[in-house]
A and B are shown apart, each in its own frame.
Chain A
Amino acid sequence: MTVHIRTQEEIAARVKALEAIMIEKGIMTTAAIDRLAEIYENEVGPQLGAAVVAKAWTDPDFKARLIANATEACAEMGIGGLQGEDMVVVENTDAVHNVITCTLCSCYPWPVLGLPPNWYKGPEYRARIVREPRKVLREDFGFDVPDSVEVRVWDSSSEMRYWVLPARPAGTEGLDEKALAALVTRDSMIGTGAPKAP
């Protein structure tokens, strides 16, 4: 078995080589690369999913529509698109805790969570979260799910994109949608964490 594992310098040079050739061939431009990166650095990220969650926490009719058809409900808020063409929201309750993964690659609901963190795309999480989710949540994320709560793992093997509606934290009765959205973390919508306490 011979395989060369490239250094960061080698990868950077290889990618630049591909980029330069594809620019010359009319396939890419640096402006388009920068614009695409900027979208996911500054415009599309977990703040969008957090806004959806906060609306669901305050508006029962919206929550019902979100559970029935997440793609359409998010579209009401102008949220949707690439890698979220067909979304399904799964709800955490006192009896159920949901967590998402993609054991085969890196599928993730971009329009509401942005691009996935590296650990989500890496081999450790993908290997273990379907086999020992309670252990991974407890030991790697410091998030303990009691045995009385069912753990449901959603392996995104098709183009359906699952994500989690976390339970509204206690003590947030007086908060408005904006204040609630600030409590919703990326990990709480993946299922590897809880929303922040008020």
Chain B
Amino acid sequence: MNGVHDLGGTDGLGPVPVPTSEPVFRAEWEKAAFGMFSMPFRAGFFGVDAFRYGIEQMHPAAYLLSPYYEHWAHTVEHYGVAKGVLDEAEIDERMQYFLENPDAPMPERDDPDLLAFVDAVVKAGAPAGRPSDKVAKYAVGDRVTVIDDSPHGHTRKARYVRGKTGVIEMAHGTMIYPDSAGNGGPEAPEHVYTVKFTNEELWGAEAAEPNGVVYFDVWEPYIEAAS
């Protein structure tokens, strides 16, 4: 989708707000929201690609103006409701309760398996590499062009590289294809490559900063041999 999340090259947003220091979590609710990737992931709400697509479907103004971890709460709600596990009216009602009773305690429940899962998933991760017998169409050194289209749904084909030509710098093997998995489809692994683009190619000779390049990872269906 051509969403506001696809920020690369957007002008007019102003300086980067860099504080001298900040805590890892700025509020208690950020800790709970941070738990809303790995635990609902374990419960089958989403993989990482679908998780991102849920965030991308926030209203653009809310996306830009809300604190980061609200994005995570949004995508959990999106998929929880879609799967019938969560109910919008119930969330609204409970939200109202916590607005009026901000210090009300959480329900109590122990789950040693979940606690063990948290430590295990942080250590082991969730690799995206998937074996495939697909033969790579391209190799390091090939000149390729990113196909200039605007797919609906989730994609990692950022607008600022569409139609641009670069050189393959690395080949990473086959990995889960976000344009399938992020849209509710199978993992459908595809070859992933790192493509190097010059600043001039991306922004034009006049606007480009001197002596610079941008590396961007593409899945094989994103590219074609440069003409």
| Chain A residues at the B interface, C-beta cutoff of 8 Å | 1, 3-6, 8-37, 39-41, 44-45, 80-86, 88, 103-106, 111, 114-115, 117-119, 121-128, 130-136, 139-141, 147-160, 162
- B85: contacting residue among A23, A25, A128, A160, CB under 8 A: A25
- B212: contacting residue among A30, A118, A150, CB under 8 A: A150
**Interface bracket on B:** 35 or more
B127 touches A86 (CB 8 A): yes
| Chain B residues at the A interface, C-beta cutoff of 8 Å | 5-11, 13-19, 22-29, 31-36, 38-40, 42-43, 48, 52, 55, 59, 61-62, 64-70, 73, 76-77, 80, 85-86, 90-99, 102, 104, 106-111, 114-115, 117-119, 121-129, 156, 158, 160, 170, 172, 175-176, 192, 194, 202-203, 207, 209-219
- Cβ of B96 to closest chain A Cβ, rounded Å: 8
- A124: contacting residue among B17, B212, B215, CB under 8 A: B17
- Cβ of B109 to closest chain A Cβ, rounded Å: 5
9 more CB-based (< 8 A) A-B contacts, given A119-B16, A123-B10, A131-B202: A10-B95, A16-B98, A17-B94, A32-B114, A37-B35, A39-B119, A111-B125, A152-B212, A157-B158
B172 touches A158 (CB 8 A): yes
Which residue of chain B has the shortest Cβ distance to A98 in the bound complex?
Answer: B215
In the complex, A33 Cα to B160 Cα: how many Å? 37
Report whether over half of chain B's contact residues are helix, strand or loop; otherwise say mixed. mixed
- Cβ of A29 to closest chain B Cβ, rounded Å: 5
B73 touches A11 (CB 8 A): yes
Most buried by A among B18, B25, B97, B194: B18
In the complex, A66 Cα to B128 Cα: how many Å? 21
Residues of B within 8 A of A160 (CB): 172, 192, 194, 217
In the complex, A192 Cα to B216 Cα: how many Å? 19
- Cβ of A122 to closest chain B Cβ, rounded Å: 7
B29 touches A36 (CB 8 A): no
Residues of B within 8 A of A134 (CB): 209, 212
In the complex, A83 Cα to B48 Cα: how many Å? 10
A1 touches B73 (CB 8 A): no
